[in-house]
Amino acid sequence: MKFIVSSSTLLKQLQNISGVLNSTNSLPILDHFLFEISEGQMEVTASDLETTMTTQLKVEAKEDGMMAIPAKLLLDTLKSLPDQPLTFSIDQEKKLIEISSDYGKYRLSGQDGAEFPKTPEVESPSKLNVPGELLFNAIEKTIFASGNDDLRPVMSGVFFELSKEELTFVATDAHKLVKYRRSDSSAAKTESFIMPKKPLNLLKNILSSVDDEIAIEFNETNASFTFADTKLVCRLIDGKYPNYEAVIPKENPNKLTIERNAFLGSIKRVSIFSSKTTHQVRLKMTGSELQISAEDADFNNDASERLTCQFDGDDMEIGFNSRFLIEMLSNLDSEEVSIAMSAPNRAGILTPTSNDNDQEEILMLVMPVMLNN
């Protein structure tokens, strides 16, 4: 088996799928890429058993064949070469791969491609197509709020809620929650599934530069995402997603409106002086003034800043985890944001005050930290 391919094209495609590879694998074959050639088309696959990614590229090849090639060794070699045609000569019986470049030859040993795990088929799937930009935004705006608790696996992913009217994406870790809704896309019927974090991060990294439509297929156990020359298949998280609507307070008479960047900068500075265990910052709102303060009683550190704002409601003080606020404000794009609150012990609702896209709705919820006066 022999084929010729551009080193930079191959490297770009391999880097797209290499995120699937784990640093430690139970099966040695999972440290490899599977190369399959059929009729001048090459398909390369990477898998960790839970998630499988394949990419296709055109090569010059006279015969078909398959071989598992060590991923790290191949990536390191390609990264060190300038763009040029490479000739791969593969002895399938001895499992030897020889790569010839303008500089010389490199030999490495592979494994039998037939031992590589088969990509799971998504049987009798539900289907929908969404624009790449929509899926990228949905993942980027929600994934940071998903949890890392192994005891509650359903919260460690992003909930895809599809209906005939809109698509909704939700992530929460019980301390913060993000709901991202798009009314410019819809599904044939009402369905839902929970996507794990790892494949979502892989998609996010690639989708930032993809304008294509994404074809999504899913059933109760697996989902696949196909676009351009790439396909990702992953196992879904099994379980029932919590009723997130129930935790979003409906009556929030106190509303703070403030310039986002000024607010974010102030919290970043003040939080340096907050307690290293609670990361608490205190917001005190009176009329058109917001006082942001933090203290670390253990080390006798404290800081406070004042900002002008618009506040409608009764004067109030509330404490939040500064890390959550910083994450949320960093993931919004609007010039101004508003926080709607009902009481110091109830969640605050953070939303952008304006939006370039009327079809997009973002709601972020953050639980308060109890103030010790």
Q: Which residues contact 354 (CB under 8 A, 6 or more apart)?
A: 334, 335, 336
Assigned fold of 2-115: DNA Polymerase III; Chain A, domain 2 (3.10.150)
pLDDT tens for 343-361 read 999 999 999 999 888 999 9
pLDDT for residue 209: 85
Domains 126-245 and 249-366 share a fold: yes
User: What ranges do the domains of the chain cover?
Assistant: 2-115, 126-245, 249-366
pLDDT tens for 144-171 read 999 999 899 999 999 999 999 999 999 9
CA 309 to CA 326: how far, in whole Å?
Answer: 18
Assigned fold of 126-245: DNA Polymerase III; Chain A, domain 2 (3.10.150)
* Whether pLDDT at 38 is above 90: yes
pLDDT for residue 373: 63
pLDDT tens for 213-269 read 999 999 999 999 999 999 999 999 999 999 999 999 999 999 999 999 999 999 999
Confidence of residue 372 (pLDDT cuts 50, 70, 90): confident
Contact 136, 213 (CB under 8 A): no
CA 188 to CA 196: how far, in whole Å?
Answer: 23
Average pLDDT over residues 84-95: 96
- What pTM was computed for the model? 0.94
CA angle 68, 69, 73 (to 5 degrees): 155
Contact 323, 279 (CB under 8 A): yes
Q: Which CATH superfamily is domain 249-366 in?
A: DNA Polymerase III, subunit A, domain 2 (3.10.150.10)
